[in-house]
């Protein structure tokens, strides 16, 4: 992996490990393997793109490593703690403190403004109103939407909505951000801007990003590429081909 940033002091330190992860579903009396015996490690500073066709297990994989769902076999270890040993309350706490999520359909709350959507996860934390306002202002600045803070989602473009969703994912200062097909509802240029923004935030915040997608164009933003097929992961090597500085700002 290339050098990421002098700000990322813990770069390379293991953050998350998945061991022999298997997830099966029972469908009409037969067993469907959504994931088979998957080993995976993410280190601080990683920007991983997992590319595979529809039905290959991408969403299942994210649901397991974010502890939204439990594996049939195997385990996920986050900062040395096996999530198999945690109860539902502890898992919810882990998700709240350490993980940010970004979705294909943005999943913004229609009646809230851009700023209120970004702020939303902070309402679950014990922060003063002024501290929340400070954080919202800072993150909206980072995603380039300070001027549109009062707009509602239906008054924003797809790219702007996804940038709000990215702000919402990062506002709790998570260590891991998971994105499920984040560019699927965007045109290719807007998708490129969103990917560039995520790369910049990965470097500036030293946050692990794991992006799953069926779109091969997204893999060019990876520091590390992985293929997924029929529930099996295949490491595709590391590279640093994207020069984010030369790309248009998102």
Q: Could you list the residues that contact ligand ADP (CB under 6 A)?
A: 25, 27, 32, 34, 52, 54-60
Rounded CA Rg of the chain: 18
The gap from C-alpha 59 to its chain's centroid, in whole angstroms, comes to: 11
Nearer to Mg ion, 59 or 202 (CB): 59
Select from ligand ADP, Mg ion, none the partner in contact with residue 169, using the beta carbon and a kind-dependent cut-off of 5 to 8 Å.
none
Whole-angstrom distance, CA of residue 202 vs CA of residue 155: 28
Window of 13-21, 58-66, 124-132, 171-179 that interacts with Mg ion by CB under 5 A: 58-66
Minimum Å gap between C-beta 214 and ligand ADP is: 7
Minimum Å gap between C-beta 107 and ligand ADP is: 16
Q: Of 70, 74, 85, nearest to 20 (Cα)?
A: 74
End-to-end alpha-carbon separation of the chain, Å? 24
Nearer to ligand ADP, 69 or 137 (CB): 69
Nearer to ligand ADP, 53 or 141 (CB): 53
Q: Is 83 in the site for Mg ion (CB under 5 A)?
A: no
Q: Which of 44, 56, 59, 193 binds Mg ion (CB under 5 A)?
A: 59
Whole-angstrom distance, CA of residue 103 vs CA of residue 105: 5
3-class DSSP assignment, residue 196: helix
Nearer to Mg ion, 53 or 141 (CB): 53
Q: Is 183 in the site for Mg ion (CB under 5 A)?
A: no
Asked if residues 49 and 216 have their Cβ atoms less than 8 Å apart, the reply is no
Nearer to ligand ADP, 113 or 219 (CB): 219
Whole-angstrom distance, CA of residue 226 vs CA of residue 236: 5
Window of 9-17, 53-61, 141-149, 231-239 that interacts with Mg ion by CB under 5 A: 53-61
Strand order in the sheet with 99-103: 99-103, 176-180, 208-213, 47-51, 224-229, 232-238
Q: Is 162 in the site for Mg ion (CB under 5 A)?
A: no
Q: Which residues bind Mg ion (CB under 5 A)?
A: 58-59
């Amino acid at each position: 992996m290339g050098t990421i940033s002098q700000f990322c002091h813990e770069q390379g330190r293991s953050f998350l490990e998945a061991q022999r992860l298997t997830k099966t579903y029972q469908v009409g009396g037969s067993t469907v393997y959504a994931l088979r015996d998957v080993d995976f490690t993410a280190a601080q500073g990683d920007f991983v793109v997992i590319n595979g066709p529809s039905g290959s297990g991408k969403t299942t994989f994210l649901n397991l490593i974010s502890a939204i769902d439990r594996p049939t076999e195997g385990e996920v270890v986050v900062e040395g703690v096996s999530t198999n040993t945690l109860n539902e309350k502890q898992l919810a706490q882990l998700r709240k403190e350490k993980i940010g999520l970004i979705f294909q359909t943005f999943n913004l709350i229609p009646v809230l403004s851009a700023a209120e959507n970004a702020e939303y996860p902070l309402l679950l934390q014990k922060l003063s109103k002024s501290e929340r306002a400070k954080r919202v202002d800072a993150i909206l600045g980072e995603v380039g939407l300070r001027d549109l803070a009062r707009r509602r989602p239906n008054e924003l473009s797809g790219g702007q909505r996804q940038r709000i969703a990215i702000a919402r994912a990062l506002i709790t200062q998570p260590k891991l951000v998971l994105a499920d097909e984040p560019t699927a509802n965007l045109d290719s240029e807007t998708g490129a801007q969103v990917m560039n923004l995520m790369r910049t935030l990965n470097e500036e915040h030293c946050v692990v990003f794991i992006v799953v997608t069926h779109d091969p164009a997204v893999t060019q933003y990876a520091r590390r590429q992985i293929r997924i097929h029929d529930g099996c992961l295949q490491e595709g090597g590391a590279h640093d081909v994207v020069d984010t500085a030369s790309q248009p700002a998102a």
